[in-house]
Structure 1
Amino acid sequence: MPKFLIQATYTPEGTKGLLKDGGSGRREAVDRVVADLGGTVEAMYFAFGEDDFVCILDFPDPVSMAAASLAVKASGALHTRATPLLTLEEIDEATRRQVTFRAPGK
């Protein structure tokens, strides 16, 4: 299953929801969204600084990740960034593929 790193920052309204629900309540909400789309939560951590929490999620396909992202962003409660994660084997496969590329101006 494709993996994604999620980095999220709460809006002021989202922070109020976190204060009300607590970390466990928000984890349950994440678990539910991901499971409903056929995925799993590998890890979820709260943080402070630029990001308020980070997750590693497994989804059956990128479209499922996009569906989750759209629903979460539409809530207005947080801003998210999703980064596809690749395994060592996937990178090894990528290094074996021939790619013809001309740099700009070359």
Structure 2
Amino acid sequence: MKKYIVMGNYTAKAFQGFMKDPKQDRSTAVKALTEAVGGKFESFYITRGPYDFVAVTSGDMPYENFAGIKLAVEASGTVENMVILEEMNMNKAAEIAAKAMAGYKPAG
């Protein structure tokens, strides 16, 4: 099962919503979105730094499922700069790179 790490920023519209209802739990919305596309919610954090939130999810599904969440959430006008990181197997990538280099001749 692959892990997906999702980061993003809230907009002024979202901050207005937080002030209107300061006790709301956004992790429930993240869980619902994740499960709607067949994923498993693992954790959600409000963060200090370049991103306002980070979510960790997992699932045996294509990247496009999470890209769909990005489209829907950013279209709502409450989230922007959403980044989706997909876990990968570095050893497998290195094996493929070694095979690719066997027949590759650099320019020059």
Question: TM-score, normalization: structure 2?
Answer: 0.80
Q: Secondary structure at the match of 1:4?
A: strand
Match of 1:39 in 2: 39
- Structure 2: state its 5+ residue gaps: none
Whichever of the two has the greater Rg, that structure is 2
Is the partner of 1:99 in helix, strand or coil? Answer: helix
Aligned mates of 2:13, 2:100 — CA distance in 1: 46
- After superposing on structure 2, the runs of 4+ consecutive aligned residues of structure 1 that deviate more than 3 Å are 19-24, 100-103
1:20-99 pair list within 5 angstroms:
20-22=20-22, 25-59=25-59, 60-79=61-80, 80-86=82-88, 90-97=89-96, 98-99=99-100
Provide structure 1 residue ranges, at least 5 long, that are not aligned to the other structure.
none
Q: Aligned equivalents of 1:5 and 1:63: distance in 2?
A: 14
| Paired positions, count | 102
- Alpha-carbon RMSD across the aligned residues, in angstroms, is 2.0
Counterpart contact for 2:42–2:56, Cα < 8 Å: yes
Displacement, 1:6?
Answer: 1.1
Cα deviation digits, residues 25-66 of structure 1 (max 9, x gap): 211111111111110122211112221111112142212111
Deviation at 1:13, TM superposition (A): 0.4
